[in-house]
Amino acid sequence: MSFQETSMDIRLEADYHTLSAECQTSDGIWQGSSIDLNRFLGNNDGQFDTNGVNFATTAQDVMIEVSGNSVFLNASLRTINERWNPNQSINLSEYVENRNGTLRFKK
């Protein structure tokens, strides 16, 4: 199940790497939760890397897009040649879960 099915008000904070949402617990209670995506996502030569960290240090135009049953993180990412690789995207629904009201990253 995708985390957005039990989450609302999904957003990026002003730092552009903290994902926040109101998440439903198993008791049906809504509570705020946040996860720092910099701890789990990197930039490997202009592409998102789930084995890296600190993607935001080499990213611009970072935004969240909710589309159907998926939540995408979109950005332009810098390459090793100092160029920008535009329109890079990762489906956060494949990696983020709502575990009893808390956003967690899974690999």
Note the pLDDT of residue 68: 86
- Distance, in Å, from the CA atom of 59 to the CA atom of 15, rounded to the nearest integer, reads 12
pLDDT of 2 over the 90 cut: no
Angle, vertex CA 96, rays to CA 92 and CA 98, nearest 5 = 135
* Fold category of 3-105 in CATH: HIV-inactivating Protein, Cyanovirin-n (2.30.60)
- Residue 8 confidence class, pLDDT cut points 50, 70, 90: very high
End-to-end CA distance of the chain: 15
pLDDT of 1 over the 80 cut: no
Domain residue ranges in the chain: 3-105
**Tens digits of residue pLDDT in 47-104:** 999 999 999 999 999 999 999 889 999 999 999 999 999 999 999 999 999 999 999 9
- Distance, in Å, from the CA atom of 47 to the CA atom of 49, rounded to the nearest integer, reads 6
Stated pTM of the model: 0.94
Mean pLDDT across 6-32: 97
- The answer to whether the beta carbons of residues 25 and 19 sit under 8 Å apart is no
Mean pLDDT across 1-20: 94
Note the pLDDT of residue 78: 98
